[in-house]
Amino acid sequence: MREPGTGAGGGGTGSRPGPAATSQKEGTPHDTVRRVLLIGFMASGKTTVGRLLAERLGWRFIDVDEEVVRRSGQTVPEIFREHGESVFRALEARLAAEVRSAERAVIAPGGGWVTAPGALDDLPDGTFVVWLRVSAEEAVRRVGGGADRPMLAGADPLDRARTLIAERESLYRRADLVLDVDDRTVSDIAEEIAARIQENEPTNE
């Protein structure tokens, strides 16, 4: 997988075995894309990029955490506080399983969703996975210190963010495309993803 900026491994959409030699441009889908799955740490821009990308493609946008909140009637911090992380992860995994085959959709699960056993295994054909890679420093800055983020609770949110990113990095790296987002606009990121997809037209059948 290529280092910061662009990068991709993978033998095509829907396949997660890891990098494979190819003459095709890195990060370009090998198959017709039916859905985009955005992964990455909290505050990497999955929701904002996802909404704009869906609009750009004329697809629908599915924010998994927002749907968990809608169905449970509780905010994410409330679920963590009253029921614990395990309950939230179970709700998140169940919902993600429901939407992972959605057609013509941009899907944004929470940052920790990738840690669920098998989350990135056997994805449906036509799934293009994009890792929005944010630094720990930028993530903490974006969330204002993390006071309302249960996963950053503690005396040192930055250290916690660094630890979580390090723990998840091998999972995030299974993406088809890696984009560093610290110094990029939402529009720029969405446009690059859309361009990668459209290099392998048709996307609208």
113-122 pLDDT, tens digit per residue, is 999 999 999 9
Helical (H) or strand (E) element with 69: helix 64-72
* Region 25-48 average pLDDT: 88
What is the model's pLDDT at position 18? 40
Say yes or no to pLDDT of 14 above 50.
Answer: no
Classified by CATH at the fold level, domain 35-198 comes out as Rossmann fold (3.40.50)
Structural domain spans, the chain: 35-198
CA distances from 26 to 59, 70, 153, 177, 203 (A): 24, 37, 37, 8, 18
Say yes or no to pLDDT of 148 above 90.
Answer: no
Question: What SS3 state is found at 34?
Answer: coil
CA distance 33 to 103: 9
Choice among 6-15, 78-87, 144-153, 155-164 with the minimum mean pLDDT: 6-15
Say yes or no to pLDDT of 78 above 80.
Answer: yes
What is the model's pLDDT at position 140? 95
CA distance 120 to 91: 17
Say yes or no to pLDDT of 1 above 50.
Answer: no
Question: What SS3 state is found at 94?
Answer: helix
* Region 79-106 average pLDDT: 93
Say yes or no to pLDDT of 24 above 70.
Answer: no
> Among 190, 168, 169, 170, which Cα is nearest to 181's?
190
Q: Nearest-5° angle of CA 59, CA 40, CA 99?
A: 40
Burial class (CB in 10 A: 0-12, 13-18, 19+), 140: buried
What confidence category does residue 154 fall into, taking pLDDT thresholds of 50, 70 and 90?
Answer: confident
CA-CA-CA-CA torsion sign (106, 93, 44, 14): negative
CA distance 101 to 123: 8
Q: What is the mean pLDDT of the chain?
A: 85
- Dig out the tokens for 156 from the structure: 């040192």
What is the model's pLDDT at position 117? 92
